[in-house]
Amino acid sequence: MISFNIQKPDTALTTALQDKIDNLTKPKGSLGTLEEIALQIGLIQQTLSPTLHHPVNVIYASDHGIADEGVSKSPKEVTRQVIHNFLNGGAGVCFLSRQHGFEIKIIDGGVDFDFPPIPQLIDRKIRKGTRNFLHEAAMTQEEMELALQYGADIVTDCHNEGCNVISFGEMGIGNTAASSMWMTCLTGIPLIDCVGAGSGLDNEGVRHKYNVLKSALDNYQGDNSPLDVIRYFGGYEMVMAVGGMLRAAELNMIILVDGFIMTNCVLAASRLYPEMLPYCIFGHCGDEAGHKRVLDVLQAKPLLNLGLRLGEGSGSVCAYPIVESAVRMINEMHSFKQAAITKYF
């Protein structure tokens, strides 16, 4: 079983960072969240002059057995179709990545389709989709361990290529259902409050989705430990994201968190290694039912609230300019002394 050596950022630099921020030419605290982000990134990087290098959006993709139960408006073949759209540069996250200078890495972790060799598609297929967790565990212990390792290895590659700020996205029909199961099992929030419309279910569809997931929860005979919940209900792409997040924290990288699914991956990762949370910047609060609730559990302060629910890492990439502004603030604003301005607070 892969393990991670994650240390919380040393807080000894806090006073010096805060003093630098407070002495920039502005009223104290007047740049609000930008000041909070600058402090956080300074602590992550252990410097008074943090930098952002080679941002990458990693998209893990896989299919889910539970999709056979009609818990999503979209059929499973949409997973492979959207991957082709990624590869052709036509997806929502593609224009955002171009706009904000992100490299995109696309990983096939378990799509129910035989892709031909494609240089831009990283093949880490574990199985052609998870099993149906209404009836059995989604994956074996060995498959879960492999997914964690694959997810971590991709992040190591990004780090070796000069990346120090990383966003995680996903593609997999049925993964809001899997995320709802992680959320209820790992937080104790009632399942009814964790289930939403996903890719566009109507009220009747949401009721059906809830009933399927309630039956799956009733059938679950595991020990409710984080690892067992992750294995029993997760998708390969979700477990890979957990491994990726944990490796990113281990490497002192900035983790940009996307929507409902990726926030539940942070939840799962933090149940294994609570020390990873200070490395996370939460991009947005989306429209999926339960997203705000799980953000509240994590005591997270999302940067945006734009009604997004696309996934793919789109919300975290969209929020990146705010992160960049925070870093520019601490590096490019003059101090009162530099500007020869009387300190006015």
Residues belonging to the active site: 312
Q: How far is CA 152 from the centre of its chain?
A: 13
Give the separation between CA 112 and CA 79, rounded to whole angstroms: 8
Give the separation between CA 62 and CA 111, rounded to whole angstroms: 4
What is the SS3 assignment for 129?
Answer: coil
Asked if 181 and 216 touch (Cβ cutoff 8 Å), the reply is yes
Contact partners, residue 153, CB within 8 Å, separation at least 6: 247
Asked if 127 and 143 touch (Cβ cutoff 8 Å), the reply is yes
- Got the DSSP string for 3-58? -----PPPGGGHHHHHHHHHTBSS-TTTTHHHHHHHHHHHHHHTSSS------EEE
Q: Which one, of 205, 250, 233, 261, lies nearest residue 144 by Cα?
A: 233
Number of Cβ atoms within 10 Å of the Cβ of 36:
15
Which secondary-structure segment (H or E) carries 296?
helix 291-297
Contact partners, residue 183, CB within 8 Å, separation at least 6: 189, 194, 264, 267, 290, 293, 294
Cα radius of gyration rounded to whole Å, the chain: 20
Give the separation between CA 193 and CA 317, rounded to whole angstroms: 27
Give the separation between CA 190 and CA 57, rounded to whole angstroms: 32
Give the separation between CA 137 and CA 78, rounded to whole angstroms: 23
